[in-house]
Chain A
């Protein structure tokens, strides 16, 4: 399985909204509603933010939302805050073979 495709970087100013895309294929993102998103601050453990495409993990702010259309999933962060600056990874179930595939990661910079 090839990695899911994410933009290498995105940026936004405090208070703005940004969207990170995650493009897969009909074998992974397009075939299962099992996409999740992770926030990763350097030196810390990754944190599950969104699972099953659009469900927020416990304690995650409602500023974070997920969606999917066809083979592309998206993470939207509204009301950007300084602490949102981190790397974000998408993940999809991919069935048999190699059942898990990650995106390459997106570095979010809050200007």
Chain B
């Protein structure tokens, strides 16, 4: 079973860029089985898939966020990252990273709360 851990600032100012990193342990991020995903949950709302990245760097984004999302992978550090630009209060959420075999999200990080506020 993989372990995933999110890290990054818990407070981001409006219009700035949210940046998070997910460190993967217990296995290699270079995997033909998994994509690596970001998911978020705004307060009081449901889960929303943000996007996924394959170890090669190929990305898949939620069309509703695509213009603001950039994901990257660092195989030397066994981690992947999320950048979300031009944030507003609506981007306040708990952000999770997860391993993503086809059709599921298998292993999840504990989540990190990111608040957008001045």
Contacts and interface: CB of A to CB of B under 8 A. Distances in A.
Chain B interface mostly helix, strand, loop or mixed? loop
Contacts of A1: 63
Contacts, number: 66
B90 interface: no
A98 B63 contact: yes
Contact of B62 (A47, A98, A105): A98
Nearest to A59: B1
A58 to B, nearest CB: 8
Interface of A: 1, 3, 32-36, 38, 40, 44-48, 51-52, 57, 89, 91-93, 97-105
10 contacts: A1-B63, A34-B102, A40-B47, A44-B110, A45-B96, A45-B111, A48-B104, A52-B104, A57-B106, A98-B64
Given A38-B105, A91-B103, 18 more contacts: A3-B46, A34-B103, A38-B47, A45-B96, A45-B109, A45-B110, A47-B108, A48-B104, A57-B106, A89-B47, A91-B49, A97-B63, A98-B63, A99-B52, A100-B49, A101-B49, A102-B46, A103-B46
